[in-house]
């Protein structure tokens, strides 16, 4: 009886306390519940809104009146309740113990369903853990392998460094020996120079003395010649005056531009202004011009030159990828930490879910149905909330492990090392040269004028393709193709006033007579040589004595007349030889002019002209050039060559211009040419021991006064002696006839 009284007193004290706690917490959430998409309901205590946007906020009365409806029918029941306002509604007092038990039973079923999901996730978590261990093991093995590779690489580097130091020491030793030999050679050269200088001064004194004597004799001859010419001029003037009375003579200045066809004529500028253009000018047409115009200026294009010179060369620095260095991957360490943290949070969420499930299962009745309902729903909501959190964390863990499996422990970082590339400043120039013939007061004057344009290019060489800025650098700097395009572009337009200004500022030379004009225009002379020309020899036919191969003037050497046909072939990258096969066509080796942007021809009298390739044969290593210069064509041999006959090679070996070397015909044989891709021995060559060196290439090989071949190559003197070759004249004839 006493025990019953005590339990009744305890119940009387505890129940009001529980009720006051529930009511205190719930007073904030009066009429605040949430209905999710599945029909599950839970109260809001301190929260203001439902967990998800799709969930619906309901009142306490709505909660009570759809409480006994199945979860899947609660949304429909809520709509019916809201639409029927006159229906008798349930209250807190209408909730029975059976309602509470039903709610608890339904909640436990929902939690049990969640537990199955948890079990599946736990199995998956075990697999993930095993997978994670395998990944870590594999990565540790890779790390160990990487360390071994790095150790071997370091060992190789040290070995290479040691070998490099040994090589540098040997090179330095060789340099010292070579430097000592060089100093000895320079001392000998200096001694020879002093002796040569002394001899040179003695020769110059003798030459100067001879010049004075020759000058005195020349003045005497000119005085006699002038007297004879004056007599002839008086007679010719009287006849011209008689004929001019029947002509209409233009006394105004007449400007005539002769559109002469020359090499690289596409570069010649357009001339604007009052000028007469003519496309042909033969001897009779020229005479007609001079008869009708007593104040005439004839403009004749002479030559076009294009050339480029290197002004400066600088080394620029850039960076190239020379290796790979591995650095720790920060994402790898971050993923490791996130995986550990997520695993811990998932375990805590699972534990909290189980705690709320246990509270629901062990919940005791308070005797107040409404409070029991709230308690059951609160425990259920807590269990489901933590369960959902657990599921989300497990899914996140799966994603993290997937990322972790594909994330390397180390990242490859490029090692950039400096390197140098060349930046060449090229000054390009193109010139057009004109011959000017002026006819004024029955006198002829000759002058030369030129128009030119210049442009600077910065051409980059040796930019490494592995350079990170390769495209940027190649676009920033010029290319050699840009230089070539500019060199072959027409000069800017020139006005006739510009021509007149140039002509007036040029040095004029009065011509002696009409025959000098004809010689300038390559016309035949009107009359035979005078007595004095025959006596002293005309300039055209007199055999010239020219300077020797040395830099000093000399009168003791007469050049071989065959050199009148030989020229220097000069390109931007070097020089070779060539010879005239017609008045304005030159034969040379193809390798002499290969890839040349501009070609210049220089004859024995140091006259210069441009040239272009009009024909080439890579198999025979031959090229035919067209030039604006006039020369004496060679004559080719015909017939059979005899082994052992003496031959002579003309050319410019090692830059020693207009040199001659002799030798013998060693053999006539077929060999493989330099450019023959098949390697077949199907080009006929003359083998000779006449010395052929760089600079001789393209020059003629003479047998007496006939050309029998084109000097093309000599075997290196380190491996052979007297093994030189010239393309046989029959191959040349085949090339020219193609």
CA distance to 105, 112, 114, 200, 579, per residue, from 384 (Å):
15, 10, 8, 116, 104
Confidence of residue 490 (pLDDT cuts 50, 70, 90): very high
Each residue's pLDDT tens digit, 595-636: 888 899 999 998 999 999 999 998 899 999 999 999 999 999
Backbone angles phi, psi at 700, to 5 degrees: -85, 150
Tell me how crowded residue 313 is: count the other CB atoms within 10 A of its CB: 12
Please say if the pLDDT value at position 418 is more than 60. Answer: yes
Written as six digits, the tokens of 612 are 């272009």
Give the per-residue pLDDT at 232.
61
- Counting Cα atoms < 13 Å in the Cβ hemisphere of 165 gives 6
Identify the CA nearest to 667 among candidates 643, 700, 689. Answer: 643
Give the per-residue pLDDT at 652.
93
Give the per-residue pLDDT at 293.
86
Cα 10 to chain centroid, rounded: 97
The beta strand positions in 99-160, using DSSP E, are none
In terms of phi and psi (left: phi > 0; alpha: psi -120 to 50; beta: otherwise), the region of 441 is: left
Judge whether 611 and 588 are in contact, CB under 8 Å.
no
**Ordered DSSP codes for 233-270:** HHHHHHHHHHHHTTS--B-S-EEEEE----TTGGGSPP
Please say if the pLDDT value at position 179 is more than 80. Answer: yes
Backbone angles phi, psi at 601, to 5 degrees: -115, 135
Give the per-residue pLDDT at 544.
43
Identify the CA nearest to 597 among candidates 626, 571, 568. Answer: 571
The structure's pTM equals 0.57
Please say if the pLDDT value at position 431 is more than 90. Answer: yes
Average pLDDT over residues 504-518: 87
CA distance to 174, 234, 283, per residue, from 288 (Å):
76, 21, 9
Please say if the pLDDT value at position 530 is more than 60. Answer: no
Average pLDDT over residues 289-315: 88
Distance CA 727, CA 687 (A): 9
Please say if the pLDDT value at position 563 is more than 80. Answer: yes
Judge whether 29 and 45 are in contact, CB under 8 Å.
yes
* Sheet hosting strand 276-278, strand order edge to edge: 276-278, 254-258, 295-328, 410-440, 443-461, 509-510
Give the per-residue pLDDT at 548.
40
Distance CA 714, CA 104 (A): 110
Question: Per 3-state DSSP, what percentage of the chain is helix, strand, and coil (rounded to 5)?
Answer: 45, 25, 30
Judge whether 618 and 636 are in contact, CB under 8 Å.
no
Please say if the pLDDT value at position 12 is more than 80. Answer: no
Confidence of residue 516 (pLDDT cuts 50, 70, 90): confident
Written as six digits, the tokens of 290 are 């001079």
Give the per-residue pLDDT at 326.
80
Backbone angles phi, psi at 165, to 5 degrees: -65, -40
Q: Which residues touch 376 (CB under 8 Å, ≥6 apart)?
A: 100, 103, 104, 107, 360, 363
Average pLDDT over residues 256-263: 90
Please say if the pLDDT value at position 588 is more than 50. Answer: yes
Written as six digits, the tokens of 558 are 């007469």
Distance CA 506, CA 27 (A): 115
Give the per-residue pLDDT at 204.
80
Q: Which residues touch 449 (CB under 8 Å, ≥6 apart)?
A: 433, 434, 436, 499, 502, 503, 506
Give the per-residue pLDDT at 640.
92
Distance CA 567, CA 584 (A): 12
Average pLDDT over residues 666-694: 84
Percent of the chain with pLDDT over 70: 85
Distance CA 691, CA 660 (A): 9
Average pLDDT over residues 426-443: 91
Burial class (CB in 10 A: 0-12, 13-18, 19+), 243: exposed
Judge whether 648 and 565 are in contact, CB under 8 Å.
no
Each residue's pLDDT tens digit, 353-382: 888 888 888 888 777 777 777 787 788 878
Give the per-residue pLDDT at 550.
41
Average pLDDT over residues 43-60: 77
Judge whether 522 and 630 are in contact, CB under 8 Å.
yes
Each residue's pLDDT tens digit, 99-157: 777 777 777 777 777 777 777 777 777 777 787 778 778 778 877 887 787 788 788 88
Confidence of residue 164 (pLDDT cuts 50, 70, 90): confident
Judge whether 285 and 296 are in contact, CB under 8 Å.
no
CA distance to 37, 447, 448, per residue, from 509 (Å):
112, 6, 10
Please say if the pLDDT value at position 555 is more than 60. Answer: no
> Quick one: which H or E segment has residue 713?
strand 706-714
Distance CA 220, CA 531 (A): 16
Rounded (5°) CA angle 89-95-98: 135
Query: For the ranges 240-244, 286-290, 310-314, 632-636, which has the lowest average pLDDT?
Result: 240-244
| Higher per-residue pLDDT: 656 or 21 | 656
Confidence of residue 725 (pLDDT cuts 50, 70, 90): very high
Average pLDDT over residues 225-232: 65
Cα 35 to chain centroid, rounded: 70
């Amino acid at each position: 009886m006493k025990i019953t009284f005590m339990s009744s007193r305890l119940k009387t004290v505890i129940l009001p306390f529980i009720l006051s706690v529930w009511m205190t917490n719930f007073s904030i959430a009066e009429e605040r519940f949430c209905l999710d998409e599945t029909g599950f309901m839970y109260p809001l205590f301190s929260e203001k809104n439902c967990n998800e946007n799709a969930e619906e906020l309901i009142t306490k009365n709505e909660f009570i009146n759809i409480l006994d409806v199945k979860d899947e029918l609660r949304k429909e029941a809520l709509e019916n309740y809201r639409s029927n306002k006159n229906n008798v509604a349930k209250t807190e007092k209408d909730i029975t113990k059976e309602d509470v038990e039903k709610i608890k039973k339904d909640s436990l079923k929902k939690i049990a369903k969640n537990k199955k999901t948890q079990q599946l996730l736990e199995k998956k978590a075990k697999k993930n853990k095993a997978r994670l261990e395998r990944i870590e093991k594999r990565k540790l093995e890779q790390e160990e392998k990487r360390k071994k590779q790095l150790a071997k690489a370091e060992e190789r580097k040290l070995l290479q460094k040691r070998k490099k130091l040994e090589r540098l020491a040997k090179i330095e030793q060789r340099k010292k020996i070579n430097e000592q030999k060089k100093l000895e050679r320079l001392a000998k050269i200096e001694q020879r120079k002093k002796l040569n200088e002394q001899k040179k001064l003695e020769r110059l004194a003798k030459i100067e003395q001879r010049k004075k004597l020759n000058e005195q004799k020349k003045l005497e001859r000119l005085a006699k010649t002038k007297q004879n010419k004056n007599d002839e001029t008086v007679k010719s003037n009287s006849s011209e005056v008689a004929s001019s009375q029947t002509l209409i003579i233009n006394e105004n200045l007449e400007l005539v531009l002769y559109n002469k066809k020359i090499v690289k004529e596409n570069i010649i500028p357009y001339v604007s202004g009052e000028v007469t253009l003519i496309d042909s000018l033969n001897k009779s047409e020229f005479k007609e011009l001079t008869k009708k115009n007593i104040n005439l200026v004839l403009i004749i294009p002479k030559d076009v030159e294009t050339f480029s010179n290197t002004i400066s060369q600088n080394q620029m620095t850039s960076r190239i990828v020379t290796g790979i260095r591995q650095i720790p991957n920060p994402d790898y360490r971050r993923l490791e930490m996130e995986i550990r943290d997520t695993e811990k949070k998932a375990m805590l969420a699972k534990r909290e879910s189980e705690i709320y499930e246990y509270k629901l299962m062990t919940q005791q009745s308070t005797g107040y149905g409404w409070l029991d309902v709230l308690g059951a729903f609160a425990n259920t909501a807590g269990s489901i909330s933590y369960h959902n959190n657990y599921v989300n964390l497990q899914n996140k863990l799966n994603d993290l492990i997937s990322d972790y499996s594909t994330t390397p422990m180390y990242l490859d970082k490029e090692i950039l090392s400096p390197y140098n590339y060349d930046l060449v400043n090229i000054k390009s120039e193109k010139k057009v040269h004109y011959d000017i013939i002026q006819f004024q007061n029955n006198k002829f004057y000759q002058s030369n004028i030129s128009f030119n344009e210049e442009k600077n290019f910065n051409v980059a060489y040796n930019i490494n393709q592995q350079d990170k800025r390769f495209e940027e650098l190649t676009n920033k700097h010029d290319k050699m193709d840009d230089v070539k395009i500019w060199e072959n572009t027409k000069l800017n337009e020139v006005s006739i006033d510009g021509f007149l200004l140039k002509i007036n500022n040029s040095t004029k030379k009065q011509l002696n007579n009409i025959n000098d004009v004809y010689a300038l225009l390559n016309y035949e002379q009107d009359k035979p040589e005078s007595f004095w020309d025959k006596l002293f020899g005309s300039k055209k036919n007199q055999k010239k004595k020219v300077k020797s191969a040395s830099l000093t003037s000399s009168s003791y050497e007469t050049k071989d007349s065959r050199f009148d046909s030989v020229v220097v072939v000069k390109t931007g990258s070097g020089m070779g030889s060539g010879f005239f096969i017609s008045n304005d066509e030159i034969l040379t080796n193809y390798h002499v002019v290969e890839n040349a942007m501009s070609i210049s021809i220089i004859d024995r009298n140091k006259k210069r002209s441009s040239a272009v390739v009009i024909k080439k044969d890579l198999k025979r290593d031959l090229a035919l050039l067209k030039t604006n210069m006039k020369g004496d064509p060679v004559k080719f041999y015909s017939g059979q060559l005899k082994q052992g006959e003496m031959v002579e090679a003309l050319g410019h070996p090692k830059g020693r211009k207009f040199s001659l070397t002799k030798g013998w015909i060693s053999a006539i044989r077929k060999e493989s040419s330099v450019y023959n891709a098949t390697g077949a021995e199907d080009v006929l060559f003359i083998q000779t021991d006449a010395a052929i060196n760089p600079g001789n290439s393209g020059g003629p090989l003479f047998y007496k006064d006939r050309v029998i071949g084109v000097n093309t190559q000599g075997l290196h003197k380190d491996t052979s002696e007297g093994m030189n070759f010239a393309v046989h004249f029959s191959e040349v004839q085949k090339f020219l006839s193609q």
